[in-house]
Amino acid sequence: MNLVPISPIEHKRHHWRAPTSQDFARDKPLIPLVAAELPKAALAAPIVMTRHQEAWVPQMLMGFETGRNLMIARNGLMIADYTPILMRLYPFRAMTSENGDTVLCFDEGSGLITKDEEATPFFDAHGVLSAPLQRIMDSFRRFEDNRLKTIESCALLGKHDLFEPWPMAIRKTDESVHLIDGLFRVNERALKALKGPQLEELHRGDALALAYCQLLSMNRVSTLVALAGAHQQLDRAPSLDDVGMDTLAKPDAIVFDWDDQGQ
């Protein structure tokens, strides 16, 4: 993304359009989540834990290969029942300045910035953020607050050594594939072994709910397996009409393996 800070000087006369698809996420198999999203996200896709700058980050797993999101259809729309907040807020992103302020940015490479006055303005006539943009700014502030709380909850799980590698492998019948590495999950066996005071600490820090959301989400691996099989057939088809809707229920072209240790 080509992120640029939104300023009343540079963007006073500019407008923007909301994306009509999620095609911008087609090459992103991992999308960061915050704790508030996990109950819904867990019912739509696997949630994995990743390590980023010494912090644990929950992410929605949307594909097995680097650079490919299986939950984006050919028409650019989401197949999943849940769309992560960061995708819903695109083409905007929030950055933190050196003095700790939140700076709203726009992806200039999105093609969604315009001078067409029928689109949504960045600023009003007085140089103040327009009402739609202010709502987006408020959403990012809430997201950032929850992100920091999520990091704290994940740190509690890490403190009790409750994360373990989640090895994944897809054996395709016709080709090998490069898989995403560095994925972790909650060690359910270790979680069950914790005693009362430890569980109470996790509960107070909202870490226990986070752990169970991740464990629940692992049931959605089968969804990705089905989508991987469907995409494989679509890749070989000259048009969408050559593949029926029942393709999603027939992931025969692939076999998914994962280590059951800790289950």
How confident is the model over 41-52, as pLDDT tens digits?
999 999 999 998
d(CA 223, CA 256): 11
Q: Which CA distances in Å does 26 have to 8, 57, 63, 66, 172?
A: 32, 21, 10, 11, 21
Asked whether 61 and 46 are in contact (CB, 8 A), the reply is yes
Tell me if 112 is assigned to some domain: yes
d(CA 58, CA 64): 16
Phi, psi (deg, nearest 5) at residue 113: -95, 140
- The torsion region of residue 85 among left (phi > 0), alpha (psi -120 to 50) and beta comes to alpha
Question: Is 179 or 108 the better-scoring residue by pLDDT?
Answer: 108
- The torsion region of residue 185 among left (phi > 0), alpha (psi -120 to 50) and beta comes to beta
Burial zone of 14 (CB within 10 Å; 0-12 exposed, 13-18 middle, 19+ buried):
middle
Tell me if 262 is assigned to some domain: no
Tell me if 217 is assigned to some domain: yes
How confident is the model over 188-229, as pLDDT tens digits?
999 999 999 999 999 999 999 999 999 999 999 988 888 888
Tell me if 70 is assigned to some domain: yes
**Is the per-residue pLDDT at 4 higher than 60?**
yes
Tell me if 260 is assigned to some domain: no
Asked whether 23 and 72 are in contact (CB, 8 A), the reply is yes
What pTM did the predictor assign? 0.85
Q: What is the mean pLDDT of the chain?
A: 86
d(CA 237, CA 187): 40
Q: Which of 57-61, 220-224, 249-253 has the highest mean pLDDT?
A: 57-61
d(CA 251, CA 53): 36
Would you give the end-to-end CA distance of the chain in angstroms? 38
Instruction: Give me 178's structure tokens.
Output: 């490069």
pLDDT at 226: 87
pLDDT at 172: 62
Phi, psi (deg, nearest 5) at residue 56: -90, 135
Tell me if 92 is assigned to some domain: yes
State which amino acid sits at residue 248: L
Tell me if 263 is assigned to some domain: no
pLDDT at 260: 43
d(CA 235, CA 81): 23
Give the mean pLDDT of 168-195: 80
pLDDT at 165: 95
**Closest to 52 in 3D by CA, of 138, 158, 140, 204:** 158
Residue ranges making up the domain that contains 49: 3-255
Tell me if 176 is assigned to some domain: yes
**Closest to 222 in 3D by CA, of 43, 57, 84:** 43
d(CA 11, CA 46): 39
Report how many domains make up the chain. Answer: 1
